[in-house]
Structure 1
């Protein structure tokens, strides 16, 4: 019986020189980051010169040079992309606060999962 076990264990192929999954995931992540960075840089170089009709950051802060923080907030909230960014940032803050260990321990598991599914 011992000989049969040894025979089957010696037939198991040994994988050598393979990339561990963690390293492969890291490569994919950095490839994604670099590709997105290249795309964003190309878009900024083409459309971010301020010569188009879109409200750019330079135009916004030129108009609001000595304005209060509240006035700047409402000016940014008037731009749909900025408003969506503010909503996204607020959702990230809410998810982070709900995910904090102290809060997560106090909430029922169903409530915690429900809040995460809603967001």
Structure 2
């Protein structure tokens, strides 16, 4: 199992994030699921843990991606659990600012 890739998904508790988690699980990814809703994350982790052969293949992290401290804690938890992150689906956030990604202040991202 340690050779399986790890995908981190923000906004994983519902919608496109949850659908991406389900698709990634079918492809054999170990998962880091992050969102603000801990209850929804835990329900999804239980569902996906069964598909992946155990809950130890899924890590949930309650995270508000607008908080840089939460972001760092999310990455630290993922690396502590799995030792690697191979793919990230950045699916959570808030509306953009003028100038888009390339010209916006990282504090606004």
Higher helix share: 1
Shared fold, TM over 0.5: no
Specify which structure has the bigger relative contact order, considering alpha-carbon pairs within 8 angstroms and separated by 6 or more residues.
2
* Higher fraction of strand: 2
TM normalised by structure 2 equals: 0.22
